[in-house]
Amino acid sequence: MPEQNQGYKSITGLVDIPVTATTPVAQTTQTAGVQRCSICSSLIAGKPLMVKSKLACSRCASEANAGQSTDSSSNFTQGLVFGIIAAVLGMGIYAGFTIITHFYLGYVALAVGWIVGKAIMVGSKGVGGQRYQIAAVLLTYGAISMAAIPIHLARMLEQGVAIDWASAAPDLALWGIASPFLRLQAGPAHIIGLVILFVGLRVAYRVAAAKSSKVAAVAAKK
């Protein structure tokens, strides 16, 4: 009686691979030029792709691309709403700090720029680009410049000055927008605050920049 696992003889007289014999998959992947997807562990056929700096097959790379947010009017609108909320918050932080301490700290502009830019990116689900950057810069400037209005009003109230809110509102709005440049009238030393303001605007601009694609094709290893 033939022994088990002896295998079957073909018509050529050669012994085929035994029925119970298997070739470990791990051994086949060690051959030169064979690569595995870091996501699904399947063998990569053809040119490999990169997903978050890891090798991936075309299917996993496509799914990763599909999961990325794309620019749209809804994303921009939501990013703008988040940015406006952050700008109001930043204005409150800037004005509140100055009113309480009676000290102008221009470096707060850097934090305001980051907060506004980050809020826009959160609202847009990570989508950035030129129009997001422009919105971030305008909102950051508005937050920092308009913070001068509550600071000015707080000082007037401390001095007991009566305020005609109805007639003062339009003038205060224009004065607030121009306030970063109007401070230069007090002396050249205020130019430092203006420089810090522009640095804060640059921070907002860079944070709201478009992110590069996470998936990039690379040459197959030989």
pLDDT tens profile 134-163: 999 999 999 999 999 999 899 888 888 887
Instruction: Output the pLDDT for position 187.
Output: 79
Q: Give the bridge partners for 134, in sequence order.
A: none
Identify whether the C-beta of residue 116 lies closer than 8 Å to the C-beta of residue 140: yes
Highest mean pLDDT among 15-29, 55-69, 176-190: 176-190
Instruction: Output the pLDDT for position 197.
Output: 93
pLDDT tens digit sequence for 35-69: 777 778 777 776 767 766 677 777 777 656 654 56
Average pLDDT, rounded, for the chain: 78
**CA distances (Å), origin 117, targets 69, 97, 173:** 17, 21, 23
Name the phi and psi angles at 139, rounded to 5. Answer: -70, -35
DSSP annotation string for 95-138: HHHHHHH----TTHHHHHHHHHHHHHHHHTTT---HHHHHHHHH
Q: Check pLDDT > 80 for residue 18.
A: no
Residue 167: CB atoms within 10 A of its CB come to 9
Closest C-alpha to 180, from 131, 147, 221: 147
Identify whether the C-beta of residue 143 lies closer than 8 Å to the C-beta of residue 91: yes
pLDDT tens digit sequence for 67-107: 456 788 999 999 999 999 999 999 999 999 989 988 878 78
Identify whether the C-beta of residue 90 lies closer than 8 Å to the C-beta of residue 144: yes
Q: pLDDT higher for 34 or 30? A: 34
Lowest mean pLDDT among 108-117, 148-157, 175-184, 211-220: 211-220
Instruction: Output the pLDDT for position 81.
Output: 97
Q: Check pLDDT > 80 for residue 218.
A: no
Q: Check pLDDT > 90 for residue 203.
A: yes
Domain boundaries, the chain: 1-67, 73-207
Instruction: Output the pLDDT for position 69.
Output: 61
Closest C-alpha to 203, from 124, 131, 107: 107
